Amino acid sequence: MRRLAAIVALLLVAGCVGIPSSGPVRKVSEDGGLGESSVRYSPAGPVDDASPEQIVRGYLDSMLAFPTTLRTAAAFLTPDAAKAWNPASGVRIYSKTEVAGRVPSTTGLDDPRGESKGAVDVRLGYREEARLDRQGHYARRNRLSSVSYTLQQVDGQWRIVNPDDGLLVNEKFFADYFRSFNLFFFDRPGRRLVADPVFQVVGDQLATSLVTSLGRGPRGGAGASARTYVPPLKDLRPSVPVSDDGIADVEFTADLGGMRDSARDRLSAQIVWTLRQVPGVEGVQIVGGSSPLTANGQAVQPISSWGGYGPSLARARAYAVAGDRVVELDEAKSSPISGSWGKDARGAELVAVSAAGVAGVLPGRGQVRISDRDGGDAFTLPATDAIGPHWDPDGTLWLVDRGVGGTRVRIVEGEKQRVVEASDLARRRITTFALSPDGTRYVVTSPTSGGQIRVGAVLRDAGDRLLGLGPSRRVRPSVAAPRSVSWSSPTELAFLARGPSGVQAYQVSIDGSATSDDLTGGASLPDIDAVALAIGSGESPELWAADSRRRLWFLAAQGSWRLVEGPKVTGLTAGT
């Protein structure tokens, strides 16, 4: 049982399968500050003379325990199975189950003491809605699945011989007790923190679970473009306690004194940014062997430390072309930007605006005009069916168009351009392209299969040279025909899609785990056939939408959509 206790202490994700009709259930008055259910449940163990089917149902119910414990689940297993079972390997989330009747086992197991008529198999069928890997990365499934449990008798009682590693939980438990958090790694050059979304069970072990996941290193979507300064999991003490005054104590067995100062700072930044999400944590103390890590000489590092490694704080604004002038949108007003673009946009259909400059796709989408912010030092590059250009946080301009071999991606630095490796996009027709606020990921939309959103990594080497765009992964929101996608945070996307009341603005996590209208506070767009969306930045960002009649609509924080009077617009976009 010591091994099982250790697994529980390091368990990243754990769950259950629905509230049974028996066993103690109690409700406490306060939750942990993350909107989780206040219901607590301690499941009952196996009863004497239970049938194989009852043992399987009880085993599933035992994983309902909250706060998390797996001791009861282990009681439904044979002793050897309990020792070998690895509940921390992942989580399967289901919506329905069906336990079929027993049949003689085909495994060849038998009870040598003659206490039973032999082993039996009980089939469990279910619809698998999603899956979490051992770090908590979410992947949607939506398919029928099944598992066949073999049971044999131990001291006259049926017990499961072959439990699958990991846990089975139902959608209700997942919604009640799991929440999305970010693990923080660094990009390859070590310049920027990269947020990697995972799901964890809330509760007293949240700090331990997050640091344990962090210690496993970058995996999944972050694996190709990220690096870590955190020592491997084997060097982490098995628990991260949080004191009554909100100090999380992270201890490594490896001595950190030999690390370079820059690596120690980045290690601290990863842990502080990850643990600042835990309710009640006010500071972090990190020790490796006899070497404490500090922030500005403080052994207890405030959760506000290391802000310089986060995404750019430059405020995103909305821009458009109105009356053949590039205008900046502020609340329900528009005003021409300074310089020549604010006087004559040369018929530009699409624009990108930042402190680094302005780029406009000229009529016919066969040329892109590029200049500084005031319109000076202008030059023109040829293009073929160009889509909206995009400035990254470093002031580099990205151009996407149709080249000879398919979709082409170029970057422009000064007046020099080069094609970057983007083989995953070459065969796809791309309608929108945008980079995340931290510059570590890209998103595109494609009209394939009624509309797709795809996300991938921006690949750089240790010297910060851009290598190209990594493979993309489809994000599957729960609404149809997504389009006009942009970033609302480093791990969330804003987009338009067709909902029950026409085209609306939605938000989805890059792992596809949740689609919501939280972006708009529930305010519905009128039935205007919106075709473009732009979002500002901040805790209460402003939103703008353009409709098929080229009219502009504005949504203020906590308000409702309203029409903005003025010239017809095109090229609605966000910039800095």
Q: How many CB atoms lie within 10 A of CB 482?
A: 24
Roughly how many angstroms between the first and final C-alpha of the chain, as a whole number?
A: 57
Residues 328 and 417 reside in one and the same domain: yes
Output the CA–CA distances (angstroms, integers) from residue 348 to 150, 151, 330, 494, 569, in the order listed.
68, 71, 21, 24, 11
How far, in Å, CA of 561 to CA of 118, rounded?
68
Picking from 282, 309, 336, the residue at the C-terminal end of a domain is 309
Residues 562 and 415 reside in one and the same domain: yes
Q: Copy the structure tokens of residue 23.
A: 């066993």
Residues 354 and 475 reside in one and the same domain: yes
Q: How many CB atoms lie within 10 A of CB 474?
A: 13
How far, in Å, CA of 275 to CA of 184, rounded?
10
Of 476, 513, 511, nearest in space to 497 by CA:
476
Residues 227 and 170 reside in one and the same domain: no
- Cα–Cα–Cα angle for 536, 538, 540, nearest 5°? 85
Classify residue 176 by its DSSP letter.
Answer: H
Residues 164 and 193 reside in one and the same domain: no
Picking from 144, 178, 212, the residue at the C-terminal end of a domain is 178
Which 3 state secondary structure label does DSSP give 50? coil
Domain span at residue 470 reads 317-575
Of 448, 439, 446, 447, nearest in space to 469 by CA:
439
DSSP 119-154: -EEEEEEEEEEEEE-TT--EEEEEEEEEEEEEEEEE
Mean pLDDT rounded to a whole number for the chain: 88
Residues 457 and 522 reside in one and the same domain: yes
Picking from 260, 284, 309, the residue at the C-terminal end of a domain is 309
How far, in Å, CA of 61 to CA of 39, rounded?
15
Q: Where are the alpha helices (DSSP H) in 252-400?
A: 261-275
Residues 166 and 278 reside in one and the same domain: no
Q: Copy the structure tokens of residue 29.
A: 């008055």
Classify residue 84 by its DSSP letter.
Answer: H
Residues 98 and 228 reside in one and the same domain: no
Residues 20 and 96 reside in one and the same domain: yes
Residues 201 and 159 reside in one and the same domain: no
pLDDT tens, residue by residue, 72-109: 999 999 999 999 999 999 999 999 899 987 888 766 55
Bigger pLDDT: 350 or 20? 350
Average pLDDT over residues 201-212: 94
pLDDT tens, residue by residue, 501-520: 889 999 999 999 989 988 88
Counted domains in the chain: 3
- The whole-number pLDDT of residue 154 equals 96
Q: How many CB atoms lie within 10 A of CB 344?
A: 12
How far, in Å, CA of 195 to CA of 81, rounded?
37
**Looking at residue 408, which CATH number applies to its domain?**
2.120.10.30
How far, in Å, CA of 328 to CA of 321, rounded?
9
Q: Copy the structure tokens of residue 102.
A: 């027993």
Letter for the amino acid at 13? V
- The whole-number pLDDT of residue 22 equals 35
Element (H, E) at 62: helix 52-62
Which 3 state secondary structure label does DSSP give 291? strand
Does 49 score more than 90 pLDDT? yes
Residues 34 and 134 reside in one and the same domain: yes
Residues 455 and 558 reside in one and the same domain: yes
Does 11 score more than 70 pLDDT? no
